[in-house]
Amino acid sequence: MKPWEAYIRKAVPYVPGEQPEGNRIIKLNTNENPYPPAPGVLKALREMNGEQFRKYPDPSANMLVEALADSYGVKEEQIFVGVGSDDVLGMAFLTFFNSERPILFPDVTYSFYPVWADLFRIPYETPKLDEAFRINPEDYKKANGGVVIANPNAPTGTALPLKAVEEIIKANQDVVVIIDEAYVDFGGQSAVPLIHRYENLLVVQTFSKSRSMAGMRIGFAMGCETLITALKHVKYSYNSYTMNQPSIILGTEAVKDREYFERRVADIVRTREAAKIRFRELGFSCTDSCTNFLFVTHEKAGAKELFEALKREQIYVRYFAVPRLDNYLRVTIGTDEEMETMYQFLTSYLKGL
Amino acid sequence: MKPWEAYIRKAVPYVPGEQPEGNRIIKLNTNENPYPPAPGVLKALREMNGEQFRKYPDPSANMLVEALADSYGVKEEQIFVGVGSDDVLGMAFLTFFNSERPILFPDVTYSFYPVWADLFRIPYETPKLDEAFRINPEDYKKANGGVVIANPNAPTGTALPLKAVEEIIKANQDVVVIIDEAYVDFGGQSAVPLIHRYENLLVVQTFSKSRSMAGMRIGFAMGCETLITALKHVKYSYNSYTMNQPSIILGTEAVKDREYFERRVADIVRTREAAKIRFRELGFSCTDSCTNFLFVTHEKAGAKELFEALKREQIYVRYFAVPRLDNYLRVTIGTDEEMETMYQFLTSYLKGL
């Protein structure tokens, strides 16, 4: 080992789902939206002036922040934007979790949380979800350095009622509580209204799921002005111009078209509720998902074998080779046609067992 | 103060140059390129399929990395890409500067270096440039935790010969040496060929200046595979999908058109060399800039007054209210027409003194 290698920060990277390419592929493995972004986004793309790329983007992404403030009924000073909710969450970990005490998040949740904690050397503890993958608010009432709850949770899809979220926030008035609402638009109860009552609450959302903009990398946080200002200071100490011009312009259009947003969310919810019935008919059990994915396990067929069989058919779902989850599959809700193709394969596959 | 405020990371953010809007404005304050991106970039923008934004981008930005590897004659494994060179440099500070010893960079240089060091709690020392704003390689031969040199330097514009850069690298075999080449295409000697000889060397470049893509946020680093892998691990521990689809697609096109790139760089160099003469005729002295900006001071007119007088004329340049620099202006090289308008104003302004 060279001497300089000793000073390298050791990091075990997060491994995202596969990104297979091809026309025949049915991609239900990374919780992408099966529908295109709003028509206004596509129109703004066609009209975009590429000559302006020579100039720096607006570092405050003002246009986008204004649209979000308007849409969520909060002040512009209560909004922070970043390069996907991962950027926003990572920045929030770095900004708010500087206590000596461990932060708390569930043992089964978004797998980036322990990765950020390790990267920034933040101690953490992971209270266990119960047998039905439910969060017990009591577990979050001990001394800690901060709390992070994905609600709805991933990869389980289940949601905590707002009352329970508020109970956790109330019990943690000395630290910052982050509620990660990546999937909230598909059926969870958002904690955004609580930011006006709890100054230590930060709510994080994303454009990657309900707004069909995973490819643009846009996430945002809402909270009191003190939290947002602190995030901005850290952000501007890292990179003043993180959101590029297309993200700002197209993100703004995505927010403005509420009708399209609501219609597409309703389409996915309808397909998801039908999927719950179909999966159960096929012998699966599934959690009561409020998201754009289902978390399913089969009474007879092993998850790993199913995952591989589906992959051979060019149907990609997500399999987690970790304890407690290794007999489950996370299946993103696709179009009705994609889902139908999958059911047909599963029907014949399961018959052959 | 609320208890949770005690755990907030305190950061003093970097303050970027103003981004004034308006058609009459001559914007020579943030070292943007006055020319549009390559024609291939604009063509790819017009042909871009916005429906694909629903999907995550390729986390490895493979298309862009391939184009860069091809253009710079290095292996793909020797290239790291990020959201502007600020993202790449910030990530490099976090990844490589974990020694107890202070890192070294000049007292007068890119003002983001001390900001990152403070953010990540990295100790640092800042050897003084000499009277002519030159780096003395001897200052970088003491025990340290790493070295960062902007070459050419900013805001001075002056360059260190490659021999001196190599001398600094040779003297620092126990730590990582970062050469920040944001402006190298305008006349500096690049250290890229040295990455094959020195495993502890990381060279960082950007699309924001010579490639007219500030608005897209693309930066990259080149170094040995060990350095690049370490950077990737930290990056994937922070945000797997930082580069959005337009950045990857349009960045690739910018790299492919070498002829346009070289022609536009030559245009700017020609305007710069003419500007040196014109500024001197007007009573300014200026450093021997190898960049797309000049660093000038006037024998009679105070820099702050000049800055403000120019601003009243809607001509924006950069003024730094810090010791040693507070009688200088940093003037980005614009088009010949923009420069002419500025000379005309300066001529009449200076006559009136």
**Whole-complex ipTM:** 0.96
Distance from CA of B167 to the nearest CA of A (A): 17
Distance from CA of B283 to the nearest CA of A (A): 30
CA separation for the pair A42, B53 (Å, rounded): 10
The answer to whether residue B240 neighbours chain A at the CB level (below 8 Å) is yes
CATH 3.30.530.20 is held by the domain B20-36+259-351: no
Q: For chain A, what are the domain ranges?
A: 3-37+259-351, 39-257
Of A5, A16, A32, the CB nearest to B55: A32
The answer to whether residue A321 neighbours chain B at the CB level (below 8 Å) is no
CA separation for the pair B214, A241 (Å, rounded): 9
Q: Is the peptide bond before A155 cis (omega within 30 degrees of 0)?
A: yes
Among residues 246-305 of chain B, which lie with CB inside 8 Å of chain A?
A: 246-247, 250
Fold that domain A3-37+259-351 belongs to in CATH = Aspartate Aminotransferase, domain 1 (3.90.1150)
Q: Which helix (H) or strand (E) holds A152?
A: none
Q: What angle do CA B312, B317, B323 make, to 5 degrees?
A: 110
The token pair that represents A16 in the structure block? 């995202």
Nearest CA-CA partner of B244 in A293, A198, A214, A67 = A214
Among residues 21-40 of chain B, which lie with CB inside 8 Å of chain A?
A: 27, 30, 32-37
Look at A238 and B90 and tell me if their CB atoms are within 8 Å.
yes
A-B Cβ pairs (cutoff 8 Å, strict): 276
Task: Tell me the CATH number for domain B39-256.
Answer: 3.40.640.10
Of B9, B16, B59, the CB nearest to A16: B59
Would you say the C-alpha torsion B118, B121, B122, B127 has a positive or negative sign? positive
Beta bridge partners of B298: B284
Look at B53 and A214 and tell me if their CB atoms are within 8 Å.
yes
* Residue type for position A1: M
The answer to whether residue A107 neighbours chain B at the CB level (below 8 Å) is no
Q: Which helix (H) or strand (E) holds B236?
A: helix B225-236
DSSP string over B279-316:
HHHTTEEE----SSEEEEEESSS-HHHHHHHHHHTTEE
The answer to whether residue B228 neighbours chain A at the CB level (below 8 Å) is no
Q: How many CB atoms lie within 10 A of CB B229?
A: 14
- The pLDDT > 90 percentage for chain B reads 93
Q: How many CB atoms lie within 10 A of CB A266?
A: 11
CATH 3.40.640.10 is held by the domain A39-257: yes
Full pLDDT tens readout for chain A, 353 residues: 888 999 999 888 887 777 788 878 999 999 999 999 999 999 999 999 999 999 999 999 999 999 999 999 999 999 999 999 999 999 999 999 999 999 999 999 999 999 999 999 999 999 999 999 999 999 999 999 999 999 999 999 999 999 999 999 999 999 999 999 999 999 999 999 999 999 999 999 999 999 999 999 999 999 999 999 999 999 999 998 889 999 999 999 999 999 999 999 999 999 999 999 999 999 999 999 999 999 999 999 999 999 999 999 999 999 999 989 999 999 999 999 999 999 999 999 999 88
CA separation for the pair A132, A143 (Å, rounded): 26
